[in-house]
Amino acid sequence: MKRSLYYIALMFVICIASCSSDESSSTDDMVGVGDDDGGDGSIPNNARSTGASAAELLTTADFDQLVIEAIYLNGAEPRSASLDNLEDFLEARLNKPDGIQIIERNIQVENEDSYTIDEIAQIEEDNRTQFNTENAIAVSVIFANRPNAANQGNSVVLGTAYRNTSLVMFQETIEEFSGGVGQPSRVVLESTVYNHEFGHIMGLVNLGTPLQSDHEDANNPKHCDVDGCLMFFEVNGGNILDLMGLSSVPEFDSQCLADLRANGGR
């Protein structure tokens, strides 16, 4: 595994601005804030809706390599084993013969009590350095040191896929609900959230990767209706107590795997 760690002393104030685009989805852990144009009507390759790059991620048609830029806010760093698990998970599903590279960066931001997705998107826009190249598709992953602003009691958001190559992991919340008595281990919960959100940008469920069978949850769109599947809604949404006792990272069920393979994945 090739992984680089860059610590950057960057101080800035988070500016809250209204997103100029419409939200493209309605699930708790997946909000579309992308599709901002550059003034000429075109949409930048890394600012499209969640799931729009599913085939680009899964196949070699456009890119032979995946570069993940892991941006830690104020030291909100995951376990190294969790990143290893993520890399193994992606290698098993994506056709990227030139491999997967994870570039880690720590940045200093003004602490907030919580973050909205629009605020996270602004942080990404101000700090992202990795974008698509001729050979590589780039994904930005923000690791937030504060919770999602929408959290209420035991109803918490652990992660969000909000653009075609943009994710946020609410690291403080993940740490709060892991490692204690009756809680999943931190690595198990981190890996579960990371894999689930990458599943969304791979187009699951019915989000850029076409369904091969009817398994989208009618009550929780863009999630699988198979209890126990990695893309089941309760894996990363609803009541955090539903994840207590989780002892291993859930996997894709056969229907989600069939969708990915039909769209060029493994």
Residue with structure tokens 């698509």? 132
What is the per-residue pLDDT for 111?
85
Here the CATH number for the domain that contains residue 131 is 3.40.390.10
Instruction: Report, as an integer, the average pLDDT of 226-232.
Output: 95
- From residue 265, how far is each of 63, 124, 224, 251, 255 by CA, in Å? 13, 27, 18, 15, 13
Instruction: Report, as an integer, the average pLDDT of 118-138.
Output: 96
* 242 secondary structure, DSSP code: G
Residue 64 domain boundaries: 2-262
Classify 28 in phi/psi space as left (phi over 0), alpha (psi -120 to 50) or beta: alpha
Q: H-helix or E-strand containing 71?
A: strand 65-73
Residue 239 has pLDDT above 90, yes or no: no
| Burial label, 26 (beta-carbon count in 10 A; 0-12, 13-18, 19+) | exposed
Each residue's pLDDT tens digit, 203-222:
999 999 999 999 999 999 99
H helix and E strand count, the chain: 6, 6
Instruction: Report, as an integer, the average pLDDT of 139-153.
Output: 96
Domain count of the fold of the chain: 1
- What residues pair up with 10 in beta bridges, in sequence order? none
Q: How far apart are CA 253 and CA 244, in angstroms?
A: 21
Range with the poorest average pLDDT among 28-37, 127-136, 189-198, 205-214: 28-37
- From residue 260, how far is each of 50, 55, 91, 266 by CA, in Å? 15, 9, 13, 7
Q: How far apart are CA 199 and CA 167, in angstroms?
A: 11
Residue 10 has pLDDT above 50, yes or no: no
